[in-house]
A and B are shown apart, each in its own frame.
Chain A
């Protein structure tokens, strides 16, 4: 049981950097601009859409940076850096 608990903890910790990426992708999808009607020009995105997509992009960036950080830390731990 102890092992299982620690294994779950390790998996969750490893998944931490992917959480902001997943949230960011969801946000960008949720706030994607409405599709343009046929032959008509695409409507301008609303303020909420712009903000939602920006926050999504930031979260994806944070997640990517976190993965990079963990890689650097791992390389440092292994003595490569």
Chain B
């Protein structure tokens, strides 16, 4: 009887083992899941070690989840590569030669393999070398043959005429150079007697505008190469704006010295498609201090929240959502009495209510995760709350009040201004404009441990879009009345 019992035990053990091993672990970078692992690598979601540590079931689930985004990204990379490997015209040559970075080649290698990355790299290096050579000494027959697989015949012809064009432009510049008709130095010196180094207002303004786009008033307006009367042919790359007509244009310049308006060449998309939003590749930052801010939107019926770094992206996405669909939204950034920033954008009660108008679900929550986004409220025995209130009064009343007084603002006016604003309540005022929605904020400064310099780098969350734990006194309002936190 003992032998059959032993055999049955062995059989049961074998069956149990079989069930346990039926779901086999997937090896890191397994060929069958190449795009999925490329996605994991690019987003820095997993390494070989962390992947191996996962149970097989979890690995299968993650691979399943990654299949679609990985497929989309692979398709985008394939399109990018195939476009980049077609013979370039002059405009594409300029765009790719100037725009492709090492990181782009690394991305091609990751997604499409070593061979394709090498081919792309070779095309780039040959093209860049030939641009330099063409400008310096021209192209010989061997060079033209080497360029044939990479460039269109027109682009090769343009590149071939580059040296001639450059020398013609140089001649034109020399002709137009006033130094040719140099006045004797003695005469110049006598004329310059009594001339100060100070430039006239219009001259200094124009100079400032030319250098950095600033006006004399300190306003900065972008300099547009293709606007106004001061068009300059784009010259940021060796063969910029070069066409088959280049020789004729250069001749015209040399002869008449008239300014030529060359249409601005549209930009060529030379860098690889951006990684998927929200992946570590996009969040990556090596700063010691935190630059965390963002908007997180929890949509009813959707398991994963939508996260945005840029407020404008969030606003665009919110506009697309159906009315009454947002169950919770968190605005994370720096706050001060009556307003909160999210990156470069700021929200006050009006703009926050306008952004979310009609979009909040019944009983939905708006969370302002920023310091002092609610008023200080009543007395508290908590010393941390007390010290925060003291700091708020100092920073948002005393400091600006005395600054105003030093600027000559009358005491009554400064007092009225800052007494009104230092204890403003962003959350309550927003809730008054969003009937039925719970709006929460902080009565105190909110300390986020993850933002501490050094620690933020250690945790790798310099650009987090949600705050995690916040040490601060929270308060919530509905229709302007304080309600318990939902």
Contacts and interface: CB of A to CB of B under 8 A. Distances in A.
Contact of A13 (B383, B390, B401): B390
Interface in A11-70: 13-14, 16-17, 20, 62, 66, 69-70
B163 interface: no
Given A13-B394, A13-B398, A81 B411 contact: no
B391 interface: yes
A77 B393 CA distance: 13
B447 A80 contact: no
| Interface of B (DSSP majority class) | helix
B289 A81 contact: yes
Contacts of A73: 371, 388, 391, 395, 445
Contacts of A6: 397-398, 401-402, 415
Chain A, interface residues (CB within 8 Å), range? 20 to 34
B390 A16 contact: yes
B289 A3 contact: no
Interface of B: 289-290, 334, 371, 383-384, 386-388, 390-391, 393-395, 397-398, 401-402, 405, 411-412, 415, 445, 447, 451-453
Nearest to A79: B334
A69 B447 CA distance: 9
Contacts of B391: 69-70, 73-74
B289 to A, nearest CB: 6
A2 B401 CA distance: 11
A10 B394 contact: yes
Contacts of A2: 411-412, 415
Given A7-B402, A16-B390, 9 more contacts: A10-B402, A13-B394, A16-B386, A66-B383, A70-B387, A70-B390, A73-B388, A80-B289, A81-B453
| Interface of A (DSSP majority class) | helix
Contacts of B445: 69, 73, 76
Contacts of B386: 16
A9 B387 contact: no
Contacts of B411: 2-3
Contact of B384 (A13, A69, A74, A77): A69
A60 B395 CA distance: 24
Contacts of A3: 402, 405, 411
Given A2-B415, A66-B383, A69-B387, A14 B394 contact: yes
Contacts of B401: 6
Contacts of A80: 289
Given A66-B387, A72-B447, A73-B391, A9 B398 contact: yes
Contacts of A16: 386-387, 390
A38 to B, nearest CB: 43
Of A17, A70, A80, the most chain B CB neighbours within 10 A belong to A70
Of B386, B387, B393, B415, the most chain A CB neighbours within 10 A belong to B387
Contact of B451 (A9, A69, A81): A81
A17 B411 CA distance: 28
Contacts of B412: 2
The 3 closest A-B CB pairs, nearest first, are: A10-B398, A2-B411, A13-B390
A26 B266 CA distance: 75
